Amino acid sequence: MNAVIDAMSETRREILLRIKQSGGATISEIARHLGISDEGARQHLIRLERQGWIARRPARTDGGRSGRPASVYEISERGENLFPKRYDELSIALIDTVLDLYGPAAVKAALARVADAWVRDWETRLRGRTLEERLAMLTDYYVKSDPFASIERNGHISLIERNCPFRSVAMARPYLCSITVNVLTRLLGYNVTRIRRFQDGDGCCEFRVLTDRPVESADVRFALEPRDGDAAGDGESAL
């Protein structure tokens, strides 16, 4: 079981598991299941809702009842992350299938398409901003208000990420990080290179901004990060 669930009180853990197993439950249903009062169940549900693990929606009615409908409590999007998922395995399987069926060029084209979409999403927000302002905003690149992203200035400028949300997939298929390198280069207007990597045991990814190498976003061609010793320089051998 997830460590967060294990740390909950027995009652709240039972409520959360009941909601997950039933696909949603009302206050009265929870109270009956636990053998407690409706008010007691409501207080526990309020706490779980405030913590973001569950969410409310109006119960569907048969159209014949009057009065205020009861609320159904469901597992929230955040709460779903408490339960076992296999997204990483599916993502890797899909990438490998494209590679097997259509070859490296198809994978590279797909990654380039993702990079284009992320650039479009960000460029309107960054338009007219200085480099410093862009860097500050891009600490939210992976996660909004990311507490694990920071800017380092020590004779150079680097964006450092210590909690990659795609870490498991990226560890298995490091070339996926080429998307971030490409996107940051285009959004910042300078070449960006990754000089520290989770994959190398560095405990973070450090994206160094090469301020002596300005670029025009429209001129930047998507390229895979080359592996050490990749003479081709386009990273194709990384696939």
| 236 has pLDDT over 70 | no
- Which amino acid is residue 151, in one-letter code? I
Considering the chain, what is the average pLDDT of its residues? 90
Taking only the tens place, the pLDDT of each residue in 155-193 is 999 999 999 989 999 999 999 999 999 999 999 999 999
Query: 106 near 96, Cβ under 8 Å?
Result: no
| 237 has pLDDT over 70 | no
R_g over Cα of the chain: 24
User: What value does the mean pLDDT take over residues 41-61?
Assistant: 91
Residue-level pLDDT at 2:
80
Which residues, in sequence order, are CB contacts of 208 under 8 Å at separation 6+?
156, 157, 158, 192, 193, 194, 195
The confidence band for 232, taking pLDDT boundaries of 50, 70 and 90, is: very low
Give the least confident one: 51-65, 136-150, 181-195.
51-65
DSSP string, 120-158: HHHHHHHTT--HHHHHHHHTTSSSTT-TTEEEEESSSEE
The confidence band for 140, taking pLDDT boundaries of 50, 70 and 90, is: very high
| 1 has pLDDT over 90 | no
Domains of the chain: 3-80 (1.10.10.10), 111-238 (3.30.1380)
Taking only the tens place, the pLDDT of each residue in 84-106 is 888 899 999 999 999 999 999 99
Sign of CA dihedral 172, 239, 141, 190: positive
